[in-house]
Amino acid sequence: ETGVTQSPTHLIKTRGQQVTLRCSSQSGHNTVSWYQQALGQGPQFIFQYYREEENGRGNFPPRFSGLQFPNYSSELNVNALELDDSALYLCASSLGEGEKLFFGSGTQLSVL
Amino acid sequence: DQQVKQNSPSLSVQEGRISILNCDYTNSMFDYFLWYKKYPAEGPTFLISISSIKDKNEDGRFTVFLNKSAKHLSLHIVPSQPGDSAVYFCAARNDYKLSFGAGTTVTVRA
**CB pair distance less than 8 Å for A102 and B4:** no
Q: How far is A95 from chain B (nearest CA, A)?
A: 12
For residue A1, name the pLDDT band (cuts at 50, 70, 90).
low
The whole-number pLDDT of residue B1 equals 66
- Single out the residue of B82, B68, B85, B97 nearest to residue B21, CA to CA: B85
Q: Which of B95, B97, B105 to probe by mutation at the A interface, max A CB count within 10 Å?
A: B97
Looking at per-residue pLDDT, the higher value among B106 and A94 belongs to: B106
- Give the residue on B whose Cα is nearest the Cα of A43: B100
pLDDT mean over A24-49: 93
Give per-residue pLDDT as tens, A51-106: 889 988 999 999 999 999 998 899 999 999 999 999 999 999 988 766 788 999 99
CA distance B104 to B22: 9
Statement: residue A28 has pLDDT above 90: no
CA-nearest residue to A105 within chain B is: B43
pLDDT (average), residues A1-22: 93
Q: Say if CB A103 and CB A92 are below 8 A apart.
A: yes
The pLDDT tens digits for B23-66 are 999 999 999 999 999 998 899 999 999 999 999 999 999 999 99
- pLDDT, mean of residues B82-109: 95
Q: What is the pLDDT of residue B73?
A: 97
Inter-chain touch B91–A42, beta carbons under 8 Å: yes
Residue A74 pLDDT: 96
Cβ within 8 Å, pair B98-A104: no
Q: HSE of B48 in the Cβ direction (CA atoms, 13 Å)? A: 19
For residue A102, the distance in angstroms to the closest alpha carbon of chain B comes to 7
Residues of A in Cβ contact (< 8 Å) with B97: 33, 45, 48, 56, 58
CB contact under 8 A, B98 and A106: no
Q: What pLDDT score does A71 carry?
A: 87
pLDDT of amino acid A24: 95
Nearest Cβ partner for B102 among A4, A40, A102 = A40
CB contact burial B50-78 (16+ within 10 A = b; e otherwise): bebeeeeeeeeebbbbbeeeebebbbbbe
CB contact (8 A) between residue A102 and residue B99: no
Task: Give the rounded distance of the alpha carbon of B96 from its chain centre.
Answer: 19
Q: Say if CB B57 and CB B64 are below 8 A apart.
A: yes
H or E segment to which residue A72 belongs = none
State whether residue B100 is helix, strand or coil: strand
Chain A residues whose CB is inside 8 A of the B23 CB are: none
Q: Is A33 on the interface with B (CB under 8 A)?
A: yes
Question: How many Cβ pairs closer than 8 A exist between chain A and B?
Answer: 55
Mean pLDDT, range B85-90, rounded to an integer: 97
